[in-house]
Structure 1
Amino acid sequence: MRKQEPEEANRNVNMETATSDQSLITILDDIKSSKLPAVINYGASWCGVCNQTFPAFQELSNSFKRIKFVYADIDECPENTLHIRYTPTFQFYRDGEKVDEMFGAGEERLQDRLWLLS
C-alpha cells in the first residue's frame, strides 16, 4: 500500500483505498448501489508503471469531484483481483455497471475516459 503524508492524504478526499479483499467487496457494493460514476485503479507496489501513474491518478481525483476514485493493490486484495492481468488496470463504472477498461499508463487517455464518464 502506498504511504501518504497526512497533508497529502487530506488533499485527496475523493479517493478511497481498498486495503483488503473485504474492503474491495464493500467498495464495489457501494459503487453498484450508489450508481455514482467511479474508477478503480488496480495496481501493485512493485509495479514501476503503477508508481509513475499514481500521482496523476491522485491529481485527477481532485479534478473530477463527481467521480469516485478507488485504488486497489492486487497483492492486498488477491482473491478479488484474480481477473486483473496487467498493472495498472483502470475500470470505469456508470450506474453501478462496468462500462470501460483501460490497461497501462497514459494520463491523457485516462483523463479523456474520466471526462466521458463525468
Structure 2
Amino acid sequence: MGEGGEKAERGKLPVNEQGNLMTATGDENLKDIFHTIRITKTPAVINYGASWCHVCNQILPTFWELSKKFPKLSFVYADIDECPETTQNIRYTPTFHFYRDGERVDEMFGGGDERLHDRLWLHS
C-alpha cells in the first residue's frame, strides 16, 4: 500500500480511483445513498458490517479491491453502529445487499472472497 493512505482503516474504506466506493457516515447519509440508488437506478452493492466484526474486517480489503474490478457498480460500506436507525433490520454482519434498477434484488450473508466476487459478477 502506498503513502496515499490506500490501506483501509478498521471499518473505513479509502476512495478508489473510479470513485464508485464510499462509506456511509451516518443514518442521514445512508438515506441519501438509498435515495440516489432509487432515483438514478445505479447498480449497487451495500456492505453492512461492524468495526468489531472479525469477518467484516477480513472482507473489507477484498470489497475495496473488487470495487476497482466492477467500476459500473456503486460500492457502499455501512457500519451498523454508525447507522443504527437505517440498519436496524440487519441481523448478521457482514450482509451484502445488491440493487438493480433502484430495487434490492439479492442479498448475501457472511464472508468469502470468491462468493462475493461471483455475486458481484452476477449483478454487474
Normalising by structure 1, what TM-score? 0.92
What corresponds to 1:11 in structure 2?
Answer: 16
More displaced, 7-16 or 29-38? 7-16
Secondary structure in structure 2 of the residue aligned to 1:93: strand
Post-superposition CA distance 1:46-102 (Å, at most 9, x none): 000000000000000011000000000000000000110000000000000000000
The structure in which a higher percent of residues are helix is 1
What corresponds to 1:32 in structure 2?
Answer: 38
Q: What is the percent sequence identity of the aligned residues?
A: 64
Runs of 4+ in 1 over 4 A off after TM superposition: none
More displaced, 50-59 or 105-114? 105-114
Q: How does 1:82-101 map to 2 (within 5 A)?
A: 82-101=88-107
Supply the distance in 2 between the matched residues of 1:88 and 1:10 (Cα, whole angstroms). Answer: 20
The match for 1:67 among 59, 73, 77 is: 73
What corresponds to 1:45 in structure 2?
Answer: 51
What corresponds to 2:112 in structure 1?
Answer: 106
1:28 is aligned with what amino acid? F
Q: What is the aligned length?
A: 114
Supply the distance in 1 between the matched residues of 2:15 and 2:94 (Cα, whole angstroms). Answer: 24
Post-superposition CA distance 1:11-66 (Å, at most 9, x none): 35220110100000000000011111100000000000000000000000011000
Supply the distance in 2 between the matched residues of 1:37 and 1:103 (Cα, whole angstroms). Answer: 19
Structure 2 runs not aligned, ≥5 long: 7-13
Structure of greater relative contact order (alpha carbons < 8 Å, 6+ residues apart):
1
Supply the distance in 1 between the matched residues of 2:23 and 2:69 (Cα, whole angstroms). Answer: 18
Secondary structure in structure 2 of the residue aligned to 1:40: strand
Supply the distance in 2 between the matched residues of 1:83 and 1:50 (Cα, whole angstroms). Answer: 17
What corresponds to 1:78 in structure 2?
Answer: 84
Normalising by structure 2, what TM-score? 0.88
Structure 1 runs not aligned, ≥5 long: none
